[in-house]
Copies of this chain bind each other. A is one copy, B any other.
Amino acid sequence: MTQQWVYRFDELDAVEETVGGSWEDVRSFLGGKGANLFEMVRLGIPVPPGYTVTTQACNAYLAGGGAVPEGMWEQMIAALESMEESTGKKFGDPDNPLLVSCRSGAKFSMPGMMDTVLNIGLNDETAQGLTKLTGDERFVYDAYRRLVQMFGSVVMGMPDEIFEEVITAACRKAGVQSDTELPAESWKTITKDFKDLFRHYTHHRFPLVVREQLKLATEAVFKSWNGKRAVDYRKAAGIPDNLGTAVNIVAMVFGNMGNECATGVALTRNGTTGEKRIEGDYLTNAQGEDVVAGIRLTKDLKELQVEMPSAYAEFEQIAQRLERHYRDMQDVEFTIENGKLWMLQTRDGKRSAQAAVRIAVDMAEEGLISKKEAVLRVSPEQVDFFLHPQFHPDATKAAKIAGRLLASGLNVSPGAAIGVAAFDADLAETWAKKENKQVIMVRPETKPDDVHGMLAAEGILTSRGGRTSHAALVARQFGKPAVVGVAALSIEIAKRQMQVGDTVINEGDWLSIDGTTGEVFTGKLETMVPDIKDPNLIKLLSWADEFRRLGVWANADYPADARRAREYGAEGIGLCRTEHMFFETDRLPLVQKMIMTDLPVEQKEALQALLPFQREDFAGLFRAMDGLPVIIRLIDPPLHEFLPDPMELLHELADLKIRLQHATSLAEIDELLQQVKTRETVLKRAETLREANPMLGLRGVRLGIFIPELTAMQVRAIFEAACEVAREDVSVHPEVMIPLTSHVNELKVQRSALEVVAKEVMQENGVEIDYKFGTMIEIPRAALTADQIAEHAEFFSFGTNDLTQTTFGISRDDAEAGFLIDYMEKQILPNNPFATIDEDGVGKLMAMAVQGGRSINPDLECGICGEHGGDPESVKLCHRMGLSYVSCSPFRVPIARLAAAHAALEEMPKK
């Protein structure tokens, strides 16, 4: 028995018998589009008759080197006959011709494959017959020329422009503005011209035998599976090559056969806000393409309710049914042919981040999906969008209608940006920094030399390059919205202008780019920042909290940050960087005094003066975090960071000396000499403190060992503050964190010295504080000897920034805008390891440290306070490693909460 390659839309039972009942397997077999059509037929929804040639047929065809698998063609003919039966039309019959469309449909939606050929079945005879039947010659020849055009471009690979030129010429000749105004006669001529063009270009006649049209179109879909763009796409998206594509043959229905006809698209809920209301656009007497292309002013679906109330009522009911059936918001296409509603497609609808959140929450509350599913429906990256400006959806819509959509490219770094075009990095920087302009930097492509301009710009736009191009990587790196690879853009640096079609943009003209969608607009579009306090988001996150096991804490240096973090759901402070407080203007002089002096007495004075500042800072933090743990890291950076840069001092000294030579009064000389002296003193100290590699120098715990008075002051401040707020009935849980430990003895020495201070303060105040001492794990050696270190630490906190630097031997400051970008462009590194934890290297060390530490103390609190704590992939890794919490910037707390829930849910068995 020959294999069954072809299934009618009403044969879902047979399909399930063959491949089993799982939706996955059905989709693999029939492709996504086909499977949905079968499903709709089973639900009794009006779908034009048709059938699907399976993905297995495609695979057999390709494996056989392009020979149609045995029986496939015969089965297609049989299925066609069944369509003829149910429609009462006949394929190729001039009296009542059946027309069909041929569409590809793989398991996953995939650009780069042959898409659609409409109106198959038209030839000179059936066209005449159809004209007779409909009495609408214009409609028929418009349809016929579309077939020739699509067949030429889609099946035979002819450039679409040559067809468009013919139409443009015809419009000129007929003296009309738009092809909608062309009379029937013109379309007839155009059809003939198209067929000539076809012959000229392909050296074949346009196939007039309708079965040949069908066969060629089907084979073209099969072949397009192995087209270069499709293969590249699969490679990039990680889609297996052996899936194959199905082919869907559907009877044509027409929305453009008169005023009883219409065609439209709709979403079952609002795709921007998520509101539960069917929304869509339609056109009366039009082709579906015209709606989708967005080039004609469409009507709101609400008007259809008035125009064709019964068709609309049926449509509304079907849409709701589909949503309930698929348990997700649907994106549907429909056509009304002479008052009869046909559903052409349904699929899960695309939606904005806000809509995703609201839809997930609403559906869970409607009982349509579970809370778990709701949580999984929103990706952590979508929560990120709540933090960045976006173009207002109405503004985007209006701009498109106004023809201000310039072009589209790759959406490589999300967010909206507005600025004037600057065609080189230096100008971008000058305009941004000196003239305070908002700038979009525009280049054919970017190079390392351009980075300073990119950093100064609001957004980045290039005409070349892909998702891993230099421009894309730098943009993502620094959170700049970017659209790259906009091929339509022709940039002429020399002329300081760029062009798309006829539109010319001069340097200095306003542009708006949407890094989320990849769209580029002329002029300024209105932006909006979504509300992170969106009540739906808050609800969704509270559900996420029910599922996650990983704690989410925040990094905060000031009480205001701590309050925000808490508001966003942080369950503790994982990192307070005490040195940030040192840089404030009223404190820096004291810090510098402490560093500059050689006299212990002066040093002590300076530290004494700093103490109340630190105490006040800590007290504020403790009050904000009443009841929650607060990890305070002792001073970390090398001391020279608090002094001016020696190079700058040298420049200043050179200037001063030249001025000295021109000084005219004794007073001036005195004044200048004084300035020279001050700078020389600072310079000398700064040069003494200067280190070849400060990242690896006298910092962290080393400072505490070298200047014990400094960390002792900090610990005194912490515990004085704790005692103070404890008396205010605040529940205070300080955790003192010692940075940069590499050898257990460092920790031992520092901790024992500091714990003495802590106990002293508590005794002085007669208050007992619940406290911990612990350490950062941010040096490979600490991770490697975690068992030893755990003997002296009550908690570990991974400083993954430094740990990544030392594990890779890479200085982030030097590399991140430099060779790291080069590495990602060349795909030497899959990701920026400073954004997402490098699992093989840094992750391995972390896992070793957790294991080593917990082998000594099974309850050891292990967290992460590097920037990775807010990166969803890294959060998931931390969950898998069994960390106690991640700590991240307050703004990223919601993202981390959701990512942690996903990590926990992904471990559970499905459903």
Kindly identify, within residues 778 to 811 of chain A, every residue whose CB is under 8 Å from any CB belonging to chain B: 778-781, 784-785, 788, 802, 805-811
* One of A65-73, A127-135, A695-703 at the interface: A695-703
Name which residue of chain B comes closest to A700, CB basis. B809
Q: Which residues of B contact A696 (CB under 8 A)?
A: 693, 695-696, 805, 809-811, 814-815
> Is A746 in contact with chain B by the CB < 8 A criterion?
yes
Quick one: which of A788, A808, A826 has the most chain B CB within 10 A? Answer: A808
B743 touches A829 (CB 8 A): yes
The answer to whether A705 and B814 touch (CB under 8 A), given A779-B808, A784-B844, A809-B740, is no
* One of A271-279, A624-632, A647-655 at the interface: A647-655
Q: Which residues of B contact A810 (CB under 8 A)?
A: 696, 742
> Is A691 in contact with chain B by the CB < 8 A criterion?
yes
B784 touches A693 (CB 8 A): no
> Is A828 in contact with chain B by the CB < 8 A criterion?
yes
Q: How far is the CB of A870 from chain B (nearest CB, A)?
A: 23
B705 touches A822 (CB 8 A): yes
> Is A646 in contact with chain B by the CB < 8 A criterion?
yes
> Is A706 in contact with chain B by the CB < 8 A criterion?
yes
> Is A2 in contact with chain B by the CB < 8 A criterion?
no
Q: How far is the CB of A704 from chain B (nearest CB, A)?
A: 11
Cα of A785 to Cα of B123 in the assembled complex, Å = 64
A841 touches B781 (CB 8 A): yes
B692 touches A813 (CB 8 A): yes
The interface bits of chain A over 802-840 (1 if a CB of B lies within 8 angstroms of the residue's CB, else 0) are: 100111111101110011001100111100000000101
> Is A658 in contact with chain B by the CB < 8 A criterion?
yes
Identify A784's interface contact among B698, B745, B781, B807, CB under 8 A: B807
The interface bits of chain A over 730-748 (1 if a CB of B lies within 8 angstroms of the residue's CB, else 0) are: 0000000000101101100
A742 touches B809 (CB 8 A): yes
Q: Which residues of B contact A815 (CB under 8 A)?
A: 696-698
> Is A239 in contact with chain B by the CB < 8 A criterion?
no
Q: How far is the CB of A815 from chain B (nearest CB, A)?
A: 7
Q: How far is the CB of A231 from chain B (nearest CB, A)?
A: 22
A692 touches B692 (CB 8 A): no
Cα of A845 to Cα of B781 in the assembled complex, Å = 9
Name which residue of chain B comes closest to A747, CB basis. B828
Q: Which residues of B contact A646 (CB under 8 A)?
A: 647
B845 touches A814 (CB 8 A): no
Quick one: which of A646, A780, A822 has the most chain B CB within 10 A? Answer: A780
Q: Which residues of B contact A529 (CB under 8 A)?
A: none
B691 touches A692 (CB 8 A): no
Q: Which residues of B contact A778 (CB under 8 A)?
A: 809
A780 touches B805 (CB 8 A): no
A788 touches B828 (CB 8 A): no
Q: How far is the CB of A581 from chain B (nearest CB, A)?
A: 23
> Is A694 in contact with chain B by the CB < 8 A criterion?
yes
> Is A493 in contact with chain B by the CB < 8 A criterion?
no
Cα of A126 to Cα of B840 in the assembled complex, Å = 85
Name which residue of chain B comes closest to A785, CB basis. B840
B745 touches A691 (CB 8 A): no
Quick one: which of A646, A658, A778, A810 has the most chain B CB within 10 A? Answer: A810
The answer to whether A828 and B781 touch (CB under 8 A), given A653-B654, A654-B657, A697-B815, is no
Q: How far is the CB of A425 from chain B (nearest CB, A)?
A: 14
Cα of A92 to Cα of B474 in the assembled complex, Å = 98
Cα of A706 to Cα of B785 in the assembled complex, Å = 35
The answer to whether A838 and B695 touch (CB under 8 A), given A742-B808, A819-B702, is no
Kindly identify, within residues 631 to 666 of chain A, every residue whose CB is under 8 Å from any CB belonging to chain B: 646-647, 650-651, 653-654, 657-658, 661
Cα of A339 to Cα of B702 in the assembled complex, Å = 68
Cα of A435 to Cα of B841 in the assembled complex, Å = 53
**Chain A residues touching B, majority SS:** helix
Assembly stoichiometry (copies):
2
> Is A398 in contact with chain B by the CB < 8 A criterion?
no
> Is A169 in contact with chain B by the CB < 8 A criterion?
no
Name which residue of chain B comes closest to A646, CB basis. B647
Name which residue of chain B comes closest to A706, CB basis. B819
> Is A749 in contact with chain B by the CB < 8 A criterion?
yes
Q: Which residues of B contact A706 (CB under 8 A)?
A: 819, 822
Cα of A760 to Cα of B201 in the assembled complex, Å = 44
Cα of A743 to Cα of B809 in the assembled complex, Å = 11
Q: How far is the CB of A451 from chain B (nearest CB, A)?
A: 12
Cα of A336 to Cα of B123 in the assembled complex, Å = 136
Chain A, interface size category, equals: 35 or more
Cα of A64 to Cα of B447 in the assembled complex, Å = 83
Cα of A724 to Cα of B852 in the assembled complex, Å = 54
Quick one: which of A646, A806, A845 has the most chain B CB within 10 A? Answer: A806
B813 touches A693 (CB 8 A): yes
Cα of A838 to Cα of B788 in the assembled complex, Å = 14
Q: How far is the CB of A479 from chain B (nearest CB, A)?
A: 22
B692 touches A695 (CB 8 A): yes
B780 touches A819 (CB 8 A): no
Q: How far is the CB of A30 from chain B (nearest CB, A)?
A: 39
Quick one: which of A698, A781, A802, A818 has the most chain B CB within 10 A? Answer: A781
B693 touches A746 (CB 8 A): no
Name which residue of chain B comes closest to A805, CB basis. B696
Identify A694's interface contact among B693, B697, B788, B826, CB under 8 A: B693
Name which residue of chain B comes closest to A745, CB basis. B828
Q: Which residues of B contact A785 (CB under 8 A)?
A: 840-841, 844
Q: How far is the CB of A827 from chain B (nearest CB, A)?
A: 7
Cα of A696 to Cα of B818 in the assembled complex, Å = 13
Q: Which residues of B contact A814 (CB under 8 A)?
A: 691-694, 696-698
The interface bits of chain A over 689-727 (1 if a CB of B lies within 8 angstroms of the residue's CB, else 0) are: 001111111100010011000000000000000000000
Q: Which residues of B contact A818 (CB under 8 A)?
A: 698
Cα of A815 to Cα of B638 in the assembled complex, Å = 13
The answer to whether A705 and B781 touch (CB under 8 A), given A742-B810, A809-B802, is no
Q: Which residues of B contact A653 (CB under 8 A)?
A: 654
Cα of A745 to Cα of B829 in the assembled complex, Å = 7
Q: Which residues of B contact A698 (CB under 8 A)?
A: 814-815, 818-819
Name which residue of chain B comes closest to A787, CB basis. B840
B809 touches A840 (CB 8 A): no
Q: How far is the CB of A706 from chain B (nearest CB, A)?
A: 6
Identify A650's interface contact among B647, B658, B802, CB under 8 A: B647
The answer to whether A779 and B809 touch (CB under 8 A), given A646-B647, A650-B650, is yes
Q: Which residues of B contact A807 (CB under 8 A)?
A: 742, 779-781, 784, 806
Name which residue of chain B comes closest to A828, CB basis. B745
Cα of A657 to Cα of B693 in the assembled complex, Å = 31
Cα of A746 to Cα of B827 in the assembled complex, Å = 10
Q: Which residues of B contact A779 (CB under 8 A)?
A: 807-809
Q: How far is the CB of A839 from chain B (nearest CB, A)?
A: 10
Cα of A658 to Cα of B91 in the assembled complex, Å = 95
A788 touches B693 (CB 8 A): no
Cα of A692 to Cα of B695 in the assembled complex, Å = 8
B827 touches A809 (CB 8 A): no
Q: Which residues of B contact A828 (CB under 8 A)?
A: 705, 743, 745-746, 749
Q: Which residues of B contact A693 (CB under 8 A)?
A: 693-696, 811, 813-814
Cα of A823 to Cα of B705 in the assembled complex, Å = 9
A781 touches B802 (CB 8 A): no
Kindly identify, within residues 571 to 608 of chain A, every residue whose CB is under 8 Å from any CB belonging to chain B: none
Q: Which residues of B contact A705 (CB under 8 A)?
A: 819, 822-823, 826, 828
Instruction: Show the binding face of A for B, using Cβ within 8 Å.
Output: 646-647, 650-651, 653-654, 657-658, 661, 691-698, 702, 705-706, 740, 742-743, 745-746, 749, 778-781, 784-785, 788, 802, 805-811, 813-815, 818-819, 822-823, 826-829, 838, 840-842, 844-845
| Known A661-B661, A780-B845, A784-B844; further 12 A-B contacts with Cβ < 8 A | A647-B650, A693-B814, A695-B696, A696-B811, A697-B811, A705-B819, A705-B823, A743-B841, A780-B780, A780-B809, A781-B809, A781-B840
13 CB contacts below 8 A, A to B, read: A661-B661, A691-B814, A695-B811, A696-B811, A697-B811, A698-B815, A698-B819, A705-B819, A745-B827, A745-B828, A745-B829, A746-B823, A780-B780
9 nearest A-B residue pairs (beta carbon): A696-B811, A693-B811, A781-B841, A654-B654, A779-B809, A780-B780, A745-B828, A691-B814, A693-B695
